[in-house]
Structure 1
Amino acid sequence: MLKNVLSLAIAISISFSAFAQTDWLLRSNTNGIKVYTGSITNSKFKAIKVECTFNASPAQITAVLLDVNTCTEWVYHTKSIKLLKQPAANELYYYSEVSLPWPASNRDFTAHLTATQNPETKVVTVNGPAVDGLVPVKEDIVRVTESTGKWVIAPVEGGRSKVEYTLHVNPAGALPAWLVNLFATEGPTKSFEGLRRQLQKPQFKNSTLAFIKN
């Protein structure tokens, strides 16, 4: 979800305010990437929060998030991704398939990304709830319909940005605990490491977006 991206995110019936009430437990801290987990009311799956500071502007990070066709280059276990439609520069719909190790079946989902900026704080928020009905259900792939993710990208000194990503998912079907835990800790770390590398690529290093002001 990220895309999501880092792709597995929060049950759609739960508002983002639930995250603010979560008691977060630090699970890993690798190369400046902090991954937390927390319990969500009425869900057996834990929520995830990831924090990291990047040497990039909010516009650069948002440009990577909205360039969904390159997600396979950095989002953990993303097998394929396709832009479905883009109604506006800051809004799009996409389809993605997530590759899971045997014996689990792959998951897929469609998501609606929107990016907005607070004109006073300059903080950028990217929301990415799952939406249904845009792509037919495929045989042997489990469709994820209850998911949402949220990126909060805040500018800090020196042209850097502090990123907070919160997500939770109902992955549907049966998954072993070890696999759920793998995606809860290793997945976010690998994706954020990939995002750091992605931001250094020429097409993103000096990105600007008309709807994001410095």
Structure 2
Amino acid sequence: MKKILLGMLLAASLPTAALAARDDLDELRDSGTAKNEWRMTKNDRMRDIKVFVKNEEGKNIRSFRVEAVFSSPIEDLARVQSDIESYPKWYFEVKEVKFLKRVSEKEFIFYMVHNAPVGLPDRDVIMRAVIEPMSSKRPYVLIRMSALPDYLPSKPPYVRMEAENYTVKWTPMGPNKTKLEAEGFIDPGGISPAWAVNFVQGKGPYANMIGMGRMLDLPKYKDKDQKDPLPYKFFE
């Protein structure tokens, strides 16, 4: 009995980093999945969300992919995505956001600060969003998100992220149903253990889908009488 209690106490005392690193190793051993192959890590059938990760050849951090289906028209997803100031309400571990520049009707730039895992300094990132509108020849909206690490001077104590690069694709599946597909990777800059990067890339996409679903239910985006005109050109 004493040995059991001691084991429980030792397990409870392990730091977050050690537990996450252990989970990371367990996943890497999983089923012998080869490099450059997507492996599903989350399948939420109730919410219709799937998350995948891929161990890139020659890298110790992963890429991510997420698929989700929302019971909302594609225009409502565009409204949530355009509302930059509301990102802290749903975007994974965002503690601060600031709109910087409207480059054109298809491009904008903004600044974000992310909460980092315990024991690591928080990260900031300047993001560029480029919209490829849906048209008769392109039956979906594509958004290319990429980091601009040199756009602003560094702001200690934050560590500037080198990359938060991903694409987002929205495909209408009817008047009130939209499929979202996102794929990409992050490079948090500075000294970042692989377990921390992989932890964020594994948890963040799923949390974002949960958050977006919650935002889509708000009257601000859902009710026709409360909808503002779209500030960017998502549709030709």
TM-score bucket (shorter structure):
0.7 to 0.9
Which is greater in Rg?
2
> How far apart, in 1, do the equivalents of 2:84 and 2:112 lie?
9
Give the CA deviation at 1:135: 2.0
Q: Distance in 2 between matches of 1:89 and 1:203?
A: 22
| Paired amino acid for 2:40 | L
In the alignment, structure 2 segments of 5+ residues that lack a partner are 1-34
Give the unaligned 5+ runs of structure 1. Answer: 1-20
Q: Which residue of 2 aligns with 1:16?
A: none
Structure 1 CA distance, aligned partners of 2:152 and 2:220?
29
Deviation, 1:177, is 4.5
Out of 189, 194, 197, the residue aligned to residue 180 of structure 1 is: 197
- Please state which structure has a larger fraction of its residues in helix: 2
1:129 to 129, 134, 146: 146
- TM-score w.r.t. the length of structure 1 is 0.82
The structure, 1 or 2, with the larger RCO (C-alpha pairs under 8 Å, 6+ apart) is 1
Query: Identity over aligned residues, as a percent?
Result: 23
For 1:158 and 1:29, the matched residues in 2 are separated by: 25
User: Corresponding residue for 1:68?
Assistant: 84
Which of 21, 28, 37 is 1:23 aligned to?
37
Q: Residue in 1 aligned with 2:68? A: 52
Q: Which runs of 4+ in 1 moved over 6 A?
A: none
The reply on whether 1:103 has 2:103 as its aligned counterpart is no
Change in CA separation of 1:132 and 1:185 when aligned onto 2, cut-off 3 Å: closer
Residue 62 of structure 1 contacts residue 115 of structure 1 at CA under 8 Å; is this kept in 2? no
Cα distance in 2 between the residues matched to 1:160 and 1:180: 32
RMSD of aligned residue pairs (Cα, Å): 2.1
State the Cα distance separating 1:22 from its structure 2 match. Answer: 4.5
**Counterpart-to-counterpart distance in 1, 2:110 and 2:144:** 13
Deviation at 1:173, TM superposition (A): 2.4
Check conservation: 1:95, 1:135, Cα contact below 8 A.
no
Q: TM-score, normalised by structure 2?
A: 0.75
